Amino acid sequence: MSAFQKTPGWLDWDPHPSRPRFRMPKGAVDAHCHVFGPGAEFPYAPERKYTPCDASKAQLFALRDHLGFERNVIVQATCHGADNRAMADACRASGGRARGVATLRRGVSDEELRELHAAGVRGVRFNFVTRLVDSTPREDQAEIAARVARLGWHVVVYFEAPELPGLLDFLAALPTTVVVDHMGRPDVTKPVDGPEFARFLELLREHPRIWSKVGGADRLSVTGPPAVKGETAPYADVVPFARRVVEEFPERVLWGTDWPHPNLKHHMPDDGLLVDFVPRIAVREELQRKLLVDNPMRLYWPEERKGAS
């Protein structure tokens, strides 16, 4: 049992996801997921904005195997602040099958960076979503980015679409590959050809260093999941957005389940159904392989790609 009281109304992850119908390419990577605690072993951070249910590394690895993934990229969740122990522990325990993305504060020691790198961390996340974090000065983030660039890491950014104009210069100046979470969180009730999403696509066109995750359909969707568990074609409203990004930038897209799905208010997705979303946004085998295997391997396990075509 957790030593922490969950945020009221918290939705727990689905313990019985269906098996995906989609046959994933060999070596697929779930490139966006988290671990939460367990709180009794890895306490949640005092500055957190929510207290989740526990979601341990063993549960994450069981889900990986059930869904048919071979690897995970574990993104530090804000409920752990800049205490990366739970995420790093999961990476270390994975036998090389998980890499991590950390949260760092300015002043992090070289020794801590070396330890995180040895655990498998290859990126730092800057979060601009104010319901999740207090803001961090841009100078701090710029300094952190310069330090992790020397380790060959990249920067992951999480923001919502209305914030993009104010971030353009900052993102353009970052010295690393930059990965945007959840397509910059478009409002999917707006047209895919409208000015808001055009701004995001323009960002990727102008900056070949900027990548996008195209997961988070459960989070972005307004139409939601199907009424009957196990039915196909959920999250129809997100499909045109994700498909557009995959087809225009096939070498710079990543996908992940987002398990254990923090802060969902209306429903908890069936992770098997979420995997079945992939062939609707990456409609050809070649695109599926890039999205699920080639791109995440290039970014997170580049040493295994040496000599690969």
83 lies in the site for ligand 0GY, by CB under 6 A: no
Give the binding-site size for ligand 0GY (rule: CB under 6 A).
10
212 lies in the site for ligand 0GY, by CB under 6 A: no
- Hey, which residues between 126 and 145 contact ligand 0GY (CB under 6 A)? 132
Q: Is 40 exposed, middle or buried (0-12, 13-18, 19+ CB in 10 A)?
A: exposed
Examine residue 269 and say whether the peptide bond preceding it is cis (omega within 30 degrees of 0): no
Strands 98-102 and 29-33: unpaired
Cβ contacts of residue 111 below 8 Å, gap of 6+?
none
177 lies in the site for ligand 0GY, by CB under 6 A: no
Question: CB of 49 within 8 A of CB of 78?
Answer: yes
Helix (H, G, I), strand (E, B) or coil at 253: strand
Distance, CA of 34 to CA of 72 (rounded, Å): 9
77 lies in the site for ligand 0GY, by CB under 6 A: yes
181 lies in the site for ligand 0GY, by CB under 6 A: yes
Question: Which span sits near ligand 0GY by CB under 6 A: 19-27, 74-82, 85-93, 112-120?
Answer: 74-82
Residue (132 or 142) nearer to ligand 0GY, CB:
132
Secondary structure letter of residue 55 according to DSSP: B
Among residues 37, 38, 262, 272, which is the contact residue for ligand 0GY, using CB under 6 A? 262
Q: How far is the CB of 251 from ligand 0GY (least distance, A)?
A: 22
Examine residue 20 and say whether the peptide bond preceding it is cis (omega within 30 degrees of 0): no
Say whether 258 is catalytic.
Answer: yes
Distance, CA of 116 to CA of 89 (rounded, Å): 10
218 lies in the site for ligand 0GY, by CB under 6 A: no
288 lies in the site for ligand 0GY, by CB under 6 A: no
Choose, from 30, 89, 218, 258, the residue flagged as catalytic: 258
Residues making contact with ligand 0GY (CB under 6 A) = 77-79, 132, 158, 181, 219, 258, 262-263
Catalytic residues: 258
